[in-house]
Chain A
Amino acid sequence: MSYYFTILSPTDTPLFNIAFGTSKGGGDGIARFRFPDTAQYMNQFIIHSSLDIVEEAQWTNGGMYLKHIDTYPPAAAYISAFLTPSGARFLLLHQPPQLPSATPTGSSSLLNASGSATRASSNSIAANPTSPQTEEAVRQFMNEVYDTYVKTSMSPFYKQGMEIRSPVFRGRVTAAGKKWL
């Protein structure tokens, strides 16, 4: 499972980006997306396009954590979202690992995704991106990041809308990722 986590300001400007892989079940914490290295912009495209759904879901869903809101089937990418009261949005793209037999172009089908899920059943989170366990894990992760985010934005040197460059914040997000995802 590979993750791409983004914090977006209310005006859709990215405040923070991080890509990481799973550390559960013997994972090494390195992101391996299905796109070739030259096409990493796809993550941003997918995240950006899912803002359409976030905008819709934020009016119909009362909670801060919107759960899994969107899918990009060609790359089996799943998007979960979290809203903060200040209007910033946390978006997490998660992508189950690709089977070695699948086509390397990233156009592998959903069938492959589910096939890989059954095989990697040792880890419940990687097994099924829409399962309750995954939702719960993402929720925990989001809450922890939100905690850190609030503390960071309280800093007197941080103005709202600025990019977050704090290495401490990055470290904490990485730690949360390691802990929950």
Chain B
Amino acid sequence: MTSPGDAAPVKPPPSFSPGVPRGASKSRHPEQRESTASLDSELAESRTESSPTPPLSATSSELPIRTDSRTLRSSTPQLARSSLGSPFDAQVDGSDDLRSVITRSFSPTIAVYASEDTDELVRNKGFKGGFGELIRPFGETVPGKVVIRDSVGASRAWEDYGVRFVDLKGFGRAPLGRDARDSPLTQMEEVLEKHLESSDISLSGSIRPKDALGLPPMSPLCKLLFRQLLSATHPAPHETFGHPVASVIAISSRNTAPLETLRQLYAGSSTGEQRLPDWVHQEYLRYYVLVHDEERDDFDESTKLYDQMKRHFGLHCHLLRLRSSQCVVTDDDSIQLPQSEWLSPLERLSGAGEAETLVDLDTDGTPCLFDSDVTAIRTFIRELVAQSVIPFMENRVAVWNDQVASRRRGISGRFMSMSRRWAGFGSSSRSSMTGSSSGSSGNYDSAHNFYQPDSPEAVLRKMADFAFMLRDWKLSASTYEIVRSDFGNDKAWKYHAGAHEMCAVSMLLNPMAMSSKIKLENVDQMFETACYSYLTRCDDALHALRCLALAVELLKSRGGTATESAAKWAMRVVDFGLVGSVGQILFSERISACYASKVPVSGAKWGARRRKAGMWSILAADQWLKAGKPTLASACLEEAERLYADVLENDGIFPMPEMQSFVDELRHAVKMEYLGSRGFDNTQDEPASAIETLGGLEETSEKLVRRNHRRSLIGLPTQLDTGALNLAQGARDAENPPNDDFERA
């Protein structure tokens, strides 16, 4: 144990005290427990949903019995893809809110830097990745409401706030070692293909639920692609979402020299080998955690140490009480570790076994935790986020807004930036332009392609990102607006693209703004610029794709005329060839969904885009078939039939002959492939017989339906009976045996 005097060299963290009273934090609120319990039950529910369905239901869904008169014509096997998703789809389906997915994907990053002994303790519990792996899944949903105050002082509570924990040790270095073949985009394609293969076998007969408008929600595969896109980006200089907002420095009660270790960890993270790259702002919140081993160490000792820590480091401390023994599934109060929602494609690929563990709950792929541990971690994360990280971010935004941004707003600020620009032209000497750091603004390091983190441009960008993560989209939009032209003047193209992208995104996320059409054109223009800068000037396909996908989804959710530009952007994605073969099909589906979401003008028949939506669905079905996925093709085909049902005069008959023959052929091919994949007799050399059996199957099934409707079950045995007795009688008589009996009696 070191004395307080020994610890004097520990530099107090350069943080801003949030001014939140400490006392209330330690008590565990009962409603908090409740919310965690409900979370768990929800998770369990979604787990059971994704479990493999018994074969009975699967076979019952094979018979193409259709009752809907509109779609009677379609005889494609009715299938759905609702079983393909990960457990998280069910959670999102509940709110079915893409905006929530988008906002949660841009959540603050918190770096985790744990001492050796802490990692050792956690490893004993069965977590190979150490402390960071243990707390990471819990950070994605902060239990309870998180109240955030925006720049004008209005506070708003968010239910779905989350943070992302990353390991400080590998920060910003991971992507460099990979070869070009393994770019995130190809990885993403790989994940999709793997997912397709693993889920193709286990199909369930449930029908996709439809929402209020009768539109099916985003298919799980599209959702997977979208999520991956949002989590695939690595920390980069031009956007600060991946840069740590805070860092958790953790030691355990096993440590013999705790304060000394804390000092070392702090020094290591700020100057030592764990120092972040130069383009990251080095001023971030340090949060100190003491992990107390409930089973081996004395709690009084730990409390004493914790008090000492509080004295040294102020409010940003936490005492986390964990049990050190490993938990197994069979324990009474074991809870399975929730799966992390935002896995990058690489992590998904490396953890390929996870797909099986999702289905079979018995396997020991995912480690378990004691109930008390889970509660402790949740409390810790809530306290960390609500009382330290959020106030810190609010504070930074306020300070930067005051010191940097306000100078640029208003007339004088504009004049300043203008005069600077003209001064650049005025001096116009080539030498000043080519000089290393004396370009148009002087802050952009064109050799290394980044701004120094303390230059006004970088600070503004960081401030806007902070505001974005705090969901103050009005402030973030206006800040991006200020800074985006600067980036263009400095020819910092990646920054330029990023600012345009995020400006448009925050404009679209802001529920208040954006009613007029002019603004929509503005947004379109910004996406265009961002896309051009990313693709042509920076050759960064991943960010371009992310930008376009965000544009598609956000514009689609706007409704009205925005859906058409959403479809336009989705077509652009397909056009540019940014995605692989599976991605192309998924984006075709998205185009269809965009058009389908355009509703007709109230009271009028026109204004919808049913035909366009139907066409894209058919094209997607065609592509799925070519990719050898008849089940998905038939789902698309079904969707197309539903869309076309409203616009075709005769049920399901296209007026144009070539279209009709194409659709017929497609239907037939899908059916053949599907039956073939399900093990039906599908010999390629005898297609005629296959058709016959198919036709027979269809007919019998329809007959079955009719009989069930017409006759009661009681009538059936007598009918059989009399049919056997009166063989000589005609079929007509056999149809009405009760009459006979009645007359005889």
Given A52-B610, A56-B607, A59-B606, A41 and B574 contact (CB-CB distance below 8 Å): no
Partner of A41, one of B568, B647, B659: B659
Stretch of A43-51, A121-129, A131-139, A140-148 lying at the B interface: A43-51
Asked if B611 contacts A52 (CB within 8 A), the reply is yes
Asked if A49 contacts B611 (CB within 8 A), the reply is yes
A11 within 8 A of B: yes
Partner of B611, one of A13, A43, A48, A58: A48
Q: List 16 A-B contacts (CB under 8 A).
A: A13-B655, A14-B655, A44-B659, A45-B615, A45-B618, A45-B619, A47-B656, A51-B647, A52-B609, A55-B605, A56-B607, A58-B606, A59-B604, A73-B572, A107-B574, A109-B575
Specify which chain B residues have a CB less than 8 angstroms from the CB of A51 in the assembled complex.
611, 647
B576 within 8 A of A: yes
Specify which chain B residues have a CB less than 8 angstroms from the CB of A50 in the assembled complex.
611-612
Q: How far does the alpha carbon of A11 sit from the alpha carbon of B575 in the complex, in Å?
A: 33
Partner of A48, one of B577, B605, B659, B661: B659
B267 within 8 A of A: no
Partner of B649, one of A12, A52, A74: A12
Q: How far is the CB of B16 from chain A (nearest CB, A)?
A: 50
Q: How far is the CB of B662 from chain A (nearest CB, A)?
A: 4
**Nearest 7 A-B pairs (CB), nearest first?**
A55-B606, A41-B658, A44-B656, A41-B662, A49-B612, A49-B615, A49-B611
B571 within 8 A of A: yes
B654 within 8 A of A: yes
Q: How far does the alpha carbon of A160 sit from the alpha carbon of B647 in the complex, in Å?
A: 22
**Dominant SS at the A interface?**
helix
Interface residue tally on A, bucketed by range: 20 to 34
Q: A45-B619, A49-B615, A51-B611 are in contact. List 7 more A-B contacts (CB 8 A).
A: A13-B655, A48-B656, A49-B612, A52-B608, A52-B609, A56-B606, A59-B606
A30 within 8 A of B: no
Q: How far does the alpha carbon of A41 sit from the alpha carbon of B662 in the complex, in Å?
A: 7
A110 within 8 A of B: yes
Q: How far is the CB of A74 from chain B (nearest CB, A)?
A: 6
A84 within 8 A of B: no
Specify which chain A residues have a CB less than 8 angstroms from the CB of B662 in the assembled complex.
41
Q: How far does the alpha carbon of A56 sit from the alpha carbon of B600 in the complex, in Å?
A: 9
Q: How far is the CB of A165 from chain B (nearest CB, A)?
A: 14
Closest B residue to A54 using CB positions? B606
Closest B residue to A109 using CB positions? B575
Partner of B615, one of A48, A56, A109: A48
Closest A residue to B564 using CB positions? A53
Closest B residue to A103 using CB positions? B577
Closest B residue to A60 using CB positions? B606
Q: How far does the alpha carbon of A2 sit from the alpha carbon of B426 in the complex, in Å?
A: 52
Report A21-73 residues with CB < 8 Å from chain B CB: 40-41, 43-52, 55-56, 58-59, 73
Q: How far does the alpha carbon of A49 sit from the alpha carbon of B598 in the complex, in Å?
A: 14
